[in-house]
Structure 1
């Protein structure tokens, strides 16, 4: 096997391991590594067919485009040394990595060209998809909330009780005069949101810490909670507005549906084209 092909296989193994297993090939058990290697070889043979097609002769990848992609990947690493180390761990050299990246980008460009003439999805087709998949466009109930947070120092034995008592005292002040909440947030809250009134924005179920989530979705509108413990510390939570569960209107999601169905149609066309290569 030519060195360039060997490094392209190493590149494909790296891509498969990262995308499917959130790992790198050198971190995999022998059996899993063998499976990744098999998938990489299949992908390699498929890409060679695509690159040998008549359509491939009409696709060119500018050096500047390749270099930009290479630099973008390299910039994800803190230093050039770390990038070089990552390549070495994957049995890749900079030149081999760039050659494999070039092949990947050419294959993508060829497939895009092949499917560029598919019939566009009509709005009627998008609307049919919408009404046959209404459950996908449901928005859960959302609640607008703000909070006041004081953190707990777990290294200090009395920190938990001290913070809890402080929140209780602040809550009493708020109960006497609810309009104090914003001023007390600005003065005492240790969350960056303090500069914006402690606002958490529109919150759907499951986005906050479990204790906060449970409390918020049981509160009455306009109320302020008792001190709530989270991994960060203690919170006072204010429930400010309710947005009931609703369905996104078709007009709002039409463009997203058109894009989704177009990509599906292009992908199907690409698979059919690849399947008939060499027949």
Structure 2
């Protein structure tokens, strides 16, 4: 049975719809601007002023120059290494810590949890971290970007709360069958926590993909640089010379479109992965945020 809606409710729905449309346009336009600019003819784009609603001409020359740069390929490989290995280590460490801290019989569980939460508000800072990385021999190595970020306190709390929501009776039944803690975690807890694990994959993966500051501080060898640090060089220091060695024409115009093409190249992988994890996102966050 359809309920008759009042004039005020219809006005609210229309206003809400208009607001969401405007919000979507404001959110999407910067990305569309970068995409259209990267596909535009460099000379036409150089002369364009104002809003960009479609590509100015059509040219893939910027993408050709981006992929011709060996450092972009190296940066991609480095970033994939950091994302895959780093995220795998993050999930393992977070799952082990969350499982241990979610069990009621663990000794000193509350004091340990307090110390973990304490690190969210009070940290040593950049200089002590820099000295620590140098003293343990991780400076200018790949591990300097992976080991210090092995676990996030915030994500640990979310996963711990999710594990606590699983009925204790399942664990007790597994123990009666002779399962130890590792078997319970692997065969009982984790299969029931796929939504929150998907959220952790998204959080950790995006964090590693977008990370550049740690590489800027700890790395000196350019062959170890992630893609985002190379992107920073291109955008902030305005350094596109490595991609324009074979260009004989106006380097200023092609340099501008190269910047936009580099942004698209470094952003598309995350945009493609997110839809596959999005369906778990809301459920995983809610499960990890609320305890039954």
Structure-1-length-normalised TM-score: 0.23
- Provide TM-score, normalisation by structure 2: 0.23
- Name the one with the larger strand percent: 1
- Tell which has more relative contact order, 1 or 2 (C-alpha 8 A, sep 6+): 2
Q: Which is greater in Rg? A: 1
